[in-house]
Structure 1
């Protein structure tokens, strides 16, 4: 673990990143330029029910992630970028997001680059450190390469976007997409290309407490073997309620993937990847999620707030013989100045990151699977 941290913090990429920031920071002396540089350092403890050796050790505590954020604005043109450094086992270093934007006015703006896909509840469909089940199938906090138009009004919000492809790190003629990425995308022998997204939100109630929305997505899947185009699509209905210390998020998604695979290759699953590791996902599914949280202000030394939450997700697979997937996370976020600590109990059934067989839990699954759980504490200093 120490060797991994040393490799990350003293790598050539890290020094080049810091060097570039040094050239940016002096520009803040110009009155018309706005610049903000921040980041985070996080550590993680976990104890998993399916890891006998780890249970005998009493869990493991180690490095999670270091990130650098940069925001800049000049004459209506602005930049937003975030670069993350994980250990080699979780994909190493990669760009989470990075886009250039332009403000037409206070309500309308344009983003170009690696920007968040306008689909479902944003920014997150969850409250916990693990996110919700939607994240693990590319339907929460996804980022792709393209252009996005946003209108944010008092009553209505809408976003329209075109994405040429997902994060592309290798530009060979027949090269598979790299699994070293933040958000889950179709990888393996298929590539996401030419994707269109639309999202609409109606806000109502006192202080816009209610947010009712609909999202649609349609794109192509280019197969490296057949050189033919398949497609993928998704629809979502979502609702978010915020009142005082309470927040609730409810969402329904139906998604389908029809890859143009080579003869003999299965078409009822697709390969998705992030954090350096690919796995299979059912090509056709419905996904239901419900997340609730409540803030409790406190005055306990540096601790100012406790946010208790429960986030639930259910993945209903449409292929006969596939076993459904469940996920539930109960926890609390402890806020103490710039330190935010997530204390989570995450349980999963046929969930790749929560026990079982990592490769096909989100596809065919296992009818004899058992619920597995992970107790997790993530400590982060955000600056």
Structure 2
């Protein structure tokens, strides 16, 4: 049985890889870029550095810096209009997952029009929008190497999963030095997001030998380095390992899939405005414990790759160590409960049926080794709240 593997056309990886941006644009035969980013990238000086680098190569780059965390259909509208009213032939997406996801949506809508809901899964978006050069500044989402984007439909409080080759960047520039300034909270949330990508890709029902190899390689990098990067952001060895691990995890789930954690996580983000990596972290121990009986050998391999179990541990002991590690990790990285984040119990309970509906509609839960029933998903959500309340 064969498997289709999708990757960016060009990847530059390593310290100061961002210096290769002019060469990458030349390889793509483009000359008129629009940098899509956020205000923080401007404040940190990253945008000025890219513009100066391009100017030295004779390329003038305009900037759109109004992307927001957890992008919405309304937040991308101005960027779409900017593209439609310009003569740009390439987009440079600079920042974390939100600017890159925003740029992906803008690249398609700017060329083909419509609303983002028109492109939601199960539609496969194969049309080619403006080519994207993705430059991530967080080690987490893997958006620089995936054919996905997530945009919230504000009217319905629904995170729309959009899928297809049209969302795959033409090039990815993976420069870990851009992550050294990340605060600890962002390092933790994006790092757990990357770990979740790798675990879910490895246990997914859509897995394949290629995605397996990328997922295990990602876990071997993330396991020993996530806490190190969280506690000491200047630790370049840990930053480099996390950046490469996040990219490999992105490649893994792009060519396999995510599963139940992500399916249940998106409604939490949409209704309670929890950052994506953080909502994944809230769910990961509970959902993993639920899922292990359907794929004990797979989860045990994840534990061994992370370094929390040894080759001498049998699957049962490896999985017990995995669950304990995930719980301890959330405590060490100060992952708040939903209640601590500010959600109200009455609102949470009232929204549970709609959250389950949106989770199943995304398709991700059906990729899980153990697919929950409606009642089981409700119980998982409720146990998340009950566990949080008991802590």
Q: TM-score, normalised by structure 2?
A: 0.29
Q: Which has the higher helix share?
A: 2
Structure index of larger Rg: 1
Task: Name the structure, 1 or 2, with higher relative contact order (CA <8 Å, separation 6+).
Answer: 2
